[in-house]
Amino acid sequence: MCGLLSYYQTEPLSIQIFNDIYNSLQLINHRGPDGEGIVLLNTQTGNYINWQSNLKIDYSNYNMVLGHKRLAILDLSEAGRQPMIKDDLIIIFNGEIYNFIELKKELEILGEVFCSNTDTEVILKAYKIWGSECLKKFNGMWSIILYDTKLKKMFVSRGRFGIKPLIYHTFKDGSWIIISEEKQLFAFEKFDKKINFNAVKILLEHQFIGLDNSTFYQNVFKFKTAHYSLQSIDSFSFNKQEKYYEINTNNIHYNYKNKEKAVEAFKIYFNKAIEYTLIADVPIGLGFSGGVDSSRIVYECYTNFQKPETFSAVFPDSKQDESYYINLVKNDLDLKSNFCYPEKEFTYKDFEKLTYHLDAPVPSSSYYAQWCLSRLVKEKGIKVLLVGQGADEVFAGYHHHFYRYLRSLLINLKILKFYKEISSFSEIKGRSKMKLFKIVLNELILVLRVKLFKKRDWCSLWFFSSSLNQFLKNELLIYQLPFFLKSDDRIGMAFNFESRYPFLDHKLVTFGFECADDIKIQNGWQKWIIRESNKLAPHEISWRKDKIGYVMPENLLPELDEDIIAYTKEKVGILSSNAFLNFSVGVWLKQQLENK
């Protein structure tokens, strides 16, 4: 929705520092084309001023800056401008609080008066009444920075699943900054840019990104998801972050074991999630691949709510093309469909732009397809796009989830169920039972090795999860989803629109982890509950046997610069067996060397 910047130092600001701050904010114009706001503060006196270019300002009277770039989604008037100031509180906010209307009514009963129809003002009033407990009342996605000028306290929070970015860095002189994108740091003369080659190595070696709160730059970190910090400004420390939300995977007595009860509950939670994510004062679209998850969103919208345009990336004459399934739904629901053709659109300069916006190497070619689709979304004037991210991580949609499930059945000596599931999966996927047995055996061997050698690094944890639910939780919060969400945010913002995720409604996620394993995987079918709940869709859609991701042909890639290859080997020590990853890392490293 927006872009943020919060800068603090104990000493008075200089013109040079303010210019760096201002330039830093301009580097994310793409995040907020609809407005800009900057507030200068003196944290000792509580005095503040709204910055304007035509004002003569003595910057030495201030030591803190709050800056905001606005993408207007709710209440498009000036009443939604940020930083927003009410009752000694100043806020900059990125995201959406979907249940703000209900919370507004609750706060009005408590005597609060509102001047806008924004969720931003609801956050301010909610914090005023409930303090940090307000976070537990919010349904949505957010990065919040709020300063209390009277109590001289700073409140910072990031949403439950990290959908919205929040990045921080402490400079060598003790000053610090909180931002939306790493590139904002490059505007500061005092920023010592150093590449985090360990992150590059993990990407090349294991194809993992962002396993902890580090980034691809040294000493630049992500604020923890589902955490907040409330501290005095003069002693503020990023080491003091408190968790406000947790997914419980230790409950072996699942609340949802009965399949009929679970399906009905899913329908209720999902319907509400769609209703919330459709709240906007701007045009809305649907990302549609023809897969199980995006089809579930399309059918829910078209059946019970509104009929937005759909957006799809297609690959004619390729095994990766999903046009057949897209057209099935298009004809069934009379979709107003839009298509992009990434193979035809690929250029090296375009790929460089994608890399620039990610502030990281592009981990797979599917992100370029997403880039092309997002360009089409902007061309059609869409400001909000609903997508299906999160369904696989909560409801077990990837093949390796099935292998983890089989492993857990063996460990728990559920032998008959193990044979039933492996036979069903083999028939559905057309895969040899013997190959499946070997995969599961390798899974068990890996677990034994991890336990035997007591490895506890980020990569070994991926194999160590003892249950399907624990494994899914790790994928949701650590391995799979975080970089998907980062890329969705960066790419969407590059084209001035916001991505929303019905499957990541926190009540739906909580429900998902309260479901027994065989409600997620049954008779060889993964995401069984999502399929079973989509009765209105054609059988070929709800019960698709294949799972396809956007994949670009590698023959489109230009040759890598030999100097970059040598530099990568020197600094990282390895190259990947994946040609695309080597190309992607090379493009990113070249950008870093050219812009030191």
Report mean pLDDT in 10-residue bins for the chain, 596 residues. Answer: 95 98 98 97 96 94 98 95 96 98 98 96 98 98 98 98 98 98 98 95 87 94 98 97 92 76 96 98 97 97 97 88 94 96 91 96 91 98 97 95 90 91 94 90 77 62 73 91 94 98 97 93 96 95 85 65 80 87 90 83
Whole-number Å distance between alpha carbons of 36 and 29:
9
Looking at residue 402, what is its pLDDT?
94
Query: Do both 330 and 466 map to the same domain?
Result: no
Q: What is the pLDDT of residue 113?
A: 96
Which strands, in side-by-side order, build the sheet including 384-386?
Answer: 337-340, 309-313, 284-287, 384-386, 498-500
* 7 is a domain residue: yes
Task: Report the distance separating Cα 76 and Cα 586, nearest Å.
Answer: 42
15 and 148 inside one domain: yes
Residue 251 belongs to some domain of the structure: no
SS (H, E, C) 463-522: HHCCCHHHHHHHHHHHHCHHHHHHHHHHHHHHCCCEEECHHHCHHHHHHHCCECHHHHEE
Are 461 and 507 members of one domain? no
Instruction: Tell me the pTM.
Output: 0.95
The tally of domains found in the chain comes to 4
Same domain, 285 and 266: yes
Is 339 a domain residue? yes
Q: Are residues 544 and 565 in the same domain?
A: no
What six digits make up the tokens of 295? 């089809």
Give me the amino acid identity at 280.
A
Q: What is the pLDDT of residue 16?
A: 97
| Structural domain boundaries, residue 265 | 259-395+480-554
Q: Report the C-alpha gap between 375 and 221 in whole angstroms.
A: 29
Give the end of a domain, one of 414, 446, 471: 471
Same domain, 213 and 98: yes
Regarding whether 421 and 285 lie in a shared domain, the answer is no
Q: What is the pLDDT of residue 554?
A: 60
Q: Report the candidate in 293, 256, 535 with the shortest Cα–Cα distance to residue 398.
A: 293
Claim to verify: residue 385 and residue 462 sit in the same structural domain: no
User: With 0-12 CB in 10 A as exposed, 13-18 as middle and 19+ as buried, what is 386?
Assistant: buried
Q: CA-based angle 448:454:457, to the nearest 5?
A: 105
The per-residue pLDDT for 455 is 60
Q: Is residue 109 part of a domain?
A: yes
pLDDT of residue 562: 79
- Report the pLDDT value the prediction gives residue 443, as an integer from 0 to 100: 79
Q: Given this model, what pLDDT does residue 177 score?
A: 98
Determine, yes or no, domain membership for 219: yes
The token pair that represents 313 in the structure block: 């990336």
* Residue 250 within any structural domain of the chain: no
Is the same domain home to 223 and 239?
A: yes
249 assigned to some structural domain:
no
* Whole-angstrom distance, CA of residue 512 vs CA of residue 373: 29
Q: 125 and 92: one domain? A: yes
Same domain, 285 and 386: yes
- Identify the pLDDT of residue 14: 97
Whether residue 432 is found in the same domain as residue 348? no
252 domain residue, yes or no:
no
- Domain boundary among the residues 471, 501, 522 is at 471
Return the pLDDT at 207.
85
